[in-house]
Amino acid sequence: MKFIKINIVLAFCTAVIIFFSGCGKDDGALPERVTVADVPTITTNVDPTGSTIINVLNATTTATFAGKFKVDNYFPGAPTPSKVDIVVRKNNFHPLTNPNAVATNSNVKLYKAGVTALPTTFTITAAEIATLFGAPISTYDNYDFAPDIYVGDRKFEAFPATGIGTGTGHNGHPLYSEFARYGALCLDSNFHQGSFEVVSDAFPNGFTPGQTVTLTKISATRFTFTVPYVTNPLAITITLGATTNLLTTRNASNQVASQKIGSAFTWDLTQTNPNVTVSSAVINFLEPCAKTIDLNIAYQTDQKLFPGTYLLRLRKL
**123 neighbors 131 (Cβ within 8 angstroms):** no
**62 neighbors 55 (Cβ within 8 angstroms):** yes
**pLDDT (tens digit per residue) in 248-261:** 999 988 999 999 99
pLDDT at 95: 76
Distance CA 8, CA 16 (A): 12
**Residues facing residue 43 across a β-bridge:** 72
DSSP-based three-state secondary structure for 286: strand
All residues at 6 or more sequence positions from 310 whose CB lies less than 8 Å from its CB, including other chains: 201, 202, 203, 206, 296, 297, 298, 299
**296 neighbors 309 (Cβ within 8 angstroms):** yes
pLDDT at 37: 55
**Residues facing residue 171 across a β-bridge:** none
Tell me which H or E stretch contains 67: strand 66-73
Distance CA 7, CA 18 (A): 16
pLDDT at 23: 45
Q: What separation in angstroms does the CA of 218 have from each of 111, 129, 159, 225?
A: 42, 35, 44, 11
Strand 285-287 relative to strand 180-185: parallel, antiparallel, unpaired?
unpaired
Spatial CA neighbour of 145 closest among 163, 162, 164, 165: 165
pTM given for the model: 0.80
> Residues of the chain whose pLDDT is less than 50?
1-36
Spatial CA neighbour of 42 closest among 6, 2, 3, 85: 85
pLDDT at 18: 40
All residues at 6 or more sequence positions from 257 whose CB lies less than 8 Å from its CB, including other chains: 249, 250, 251, 277
pLDDT at 1: 39
pLDDT at 20: 41
Distance CA 27, CA 24 (A): 6
Which residue type occupies 315? R
DSSP-based three-state secondary structure for 29: coil
Distance CA 43, CA 30 (A): 30
